[in-house]
Amino acid sequence: RLLAQDRPAATVAAVATAQEETSFAGATTSAISFDPHVAIAVDVTFASDHPGMDKKQNGDVKLGGGPVLARGAANSPLVFERLLSICEQESIPYSVQITPRQTGTDADAIHVVRGGVATGVVSIPNRYMHSPNEMIHLDDVANAAKLIAAFVRSIGSADEFIPE
């Protein structure tokens, strides 16, 4: 909806995938089929703003604190920097989560498809994940959508996501 009035120059494919928890089959087949230049995996991540969560391991991630940007091996530094810059320019609250190995998201499959895909991860803080009482803040969802729409609008026809 955020892109309906202001059509982006980039071609966009929004894909809902299956089997992220087991084989990444949905993300892998979608990335092979679409052969994207850049991809954003959208998922949830552990909120650490409640007792029993280790902020040293999970970062300081709060409900209502905005989307969480992953930085690590499966994430393109160029995509990460652009997402970060957009958050700053648009006054979108955000957190950064360090993911030195795998992200636990579809990005783990997407970034290695074909010759490699410049991939970023935008996550929604989720309290009590994998329980019957999961909680998110709707402002985090709205801010993630705003961030992704601004990212898509920022892509020009000459943009390269391959580091020099």
The pLDDT, as a whole number, for residue 86 is 98
Q: Say how far apart CA 146 and CA 162 lie, in whole Å.
A: 25
The pLDDT score that the predictor gives to residue 3 is 86
The helix/strand count (H/E) of the chain reads as: 5, 4
3-state helix/strand/coil string of 109-138: HHCCCCCCCEEEEEEEEEECCCCCCCECCH
Query: Residue 42's pLDDT is what?
Result: 96
Give the pLDDT confidence score for residue 7 in this predicted structure.
83
pLDDT of residue 71: 95
Active-site positions read 20
Helix (H) or strand (E) holding 95: strand 95-99
Which residue bears the tokens 């089959």? 25
Q: What pLDDT is attached to residue 85?
A: 98
Q: What's the CA gap between 42 and 107, in Å, rounded?
A: 9
Fold entry, domain 25-154: Aminopeptidase (3.40.630)
pLDDT of residue 24: 83
Q: Do the Cβ atoms of 37 and 65 come closer than 8 Å?
A: no
To the question of pTM greater than 0.85 for the whole model, the response is yes
3 state DSSP class of 98: strand
Nearest in space to 94 (alpha carbons), one of 72, 51, 124: 124
Q: Domain limits of the chain?
A: 25-154
pLDDT tens over the chain, length 164 residues: 888 888 888 888 888 888 888 878 888 889 898 889 999 999 999 999 888 887 877 788 999 999 999 999 889 999 999 999 999 999 999 999 999 888 989 899 999 998 889 999 999 999 998 999 999 999 999 999 999 999 999 998 888 888 77
